Structure 1
Amino acid sequence: MDNENKINNTAEARNKSAYKPNPEMESEEDKKLEGETKEKVFQIFKDFFTRVAKLDELVAVGGRLLTGFQQGLEFLRRPPINKTSKLIENIIKANETKRLKSYFEVGCITSHDSVENMSKLRTCLLGLHDHLIKVKSLLNDLKCLLEDATAALQTANEQLSPLLDKESVERLDPQENNGEDEMASSQLQEPQVTDYAALMGIIYNMVKQDYAMQEKIVTSLNLKSSSGELESYCLMWSLRPYVNEQTMHLAWKLVP
């Protein structure tokens, strides 16, 4: 009976040892999962910035369309020649023709110029509305990629979503640091996988606000837009005040 108990105890001990977790095996699995997660997030990061590059191209095209609208409208409402100037008066008298008289009578703009510039205004305005559609589509792509990166990290049992990790976000914001060189040499020298996701979140918010500004500009354009308004619109479009250039520069450095 004692021998039988010993045999049973020995078998039970063997069974327990067989199911005992192997720290080395767990470590290998963790490393494998970590590597797969990094690779997936890096690929998402590359895809994300491929679309950011397309977005930059669209913004440049939209800026040219906005400038075209401004030029077309300014041409249509440019003031007539000031004939009170003695020099201008002498030139007109020396070259007074029926054609020149007609030109002054219609406000110093030909019907051809009028039709051509009205067509230009329409083309630019339609182009700007098409621009908004394309940018909106890219923003949706960026949002999906951001969600994919977050999901990949959550699947890998990250303790905190990078988009909610305020400290991680602040570490990547140049405004929270003394300078770009210091940030690049210390905190971004060996970025963590969560840093990539956090950076995508920061940039998505910037370009989203930039789009909202562009949308307001385009929807406010009309034939009554003042010269001052148009000049301000063009300036703000080119400046992109919601996009932090330092953050974008640092992000592009991380693109593999």
Structure 2
Amino acid sequence: MESNEDQSLSELEEEIFQKFRAFMTGIAKIDELGIAGSRLLSGFQQAIEFIGRPPIDMNSKLVDKIIVANETKRVKAYINSGCRKLNESIQSLTNFHSCTQGLCNHIRKAKEILNELEGVLGDVTSAIQTTDGKLLAFSGLDFDVELIEQATYNDLAMVMAFIYSMVKQEYLMQEKIVSALDLKMSLEELESYCQMWSLRPFINDEIVHGAWEHIH
């Protein structure tokens, strides 16, 4: 017959597992946001490329010959507009503002989820402490990237802490990228930001996949 103590422990284990599931669901939401954010950053990059595109070199003899040979009212209007189509310019500016706003919303939503993950992690750590009192509170630990490689999957709270640490570092990187976005930034710098965003250098996929195996 199961004792009250065993039953309480069993209920606590179930509670911890459900919170772990909620934690990983939050991680999945962060991943989805990151993918959407990457698309927004690409859209921002395309808008910047169009806005910063240099006009046609009117001093070129070849260009001059082409224009003279094909001179029409439409070509003249295009040249007078600075070799830009008005609707394309308007669309690029619209995309620029839309992507900028979307990325700011991404950072806000990611921060909200990150706060929720921290709360769940704290709940799990506190729950485990009540069983043996051996685990330190997460807030008192400093998780370095190098330590992630040494993680084992036996300690659920520790795995969650490592994943949280990785996701938080990725969020901070994205926050810095979004805050640096500017209409006058160089295309080289923007390309580097796009690559960093898509590469996700702070995320160790092996640890995240291992955590999902505890659920599936």
TM-score normalised over the length of structure 2: 0.86
CA shift in 2, pair 1:221/1:118, >3 Å:
same
Number of aligned residues: 212
Structure 1: which 5+ residue stretches go unaligned? 1-24, 178-186
Computing the radius of gyration over CA atoms, which structure comes out larger, 1 or 2? 1
1:227 maps to 2:187 = yes
1:200 maps to 2:160 = yes
1:29 shift after superposition:
4.9
Mapped partners of 1:250, 1:212: distance in 2: 24
2:210 maps to which residue? 250
How do 1:65-76 residues align onto structure 2 when only pairs under 5 Å count? 65-76=40-51
The one-letter code of the counterpart of 1:97 is: T
1:39 maps to which residue? 14
SS in 2 for 1:156: helix
Q: Does the aligned pair in 2 maintain the 1:139–1:208 contact within 8 Å?
A: yes
CA shift in 2, pair 1:164/1:102, >3 Å:
closer
Mapped partners of 2:104, 2:171: distance in 1: 12
How do 1:20-169 residues align onto structure 2 when only pairs under 5 Å count? 28-82=3-57, 84=60, 86=62, 90-161=65-136, 163=138
1:216 maps to 2:176 = yes
CA shift in 2, pair 1:176/1:200, >3 Å:
closer
Instruction: String of CA shifts for 1:103-138, please: whole Å, max 9, x gaps.
Output: 123322122222221111111111111111100100
Mapped partners of 1:147, 1:162: distance in 2: 7
1:98 shift after superposition:
2.3
1:157 shift after superposition:
3.0
SS in 2 for 1:161: coil
RMSD: 2.7
Structure 2: which 5+ residue stretches go unaligned? none
1:176 maps to 2:150 = yes
SS in 2 for 1:52: helix
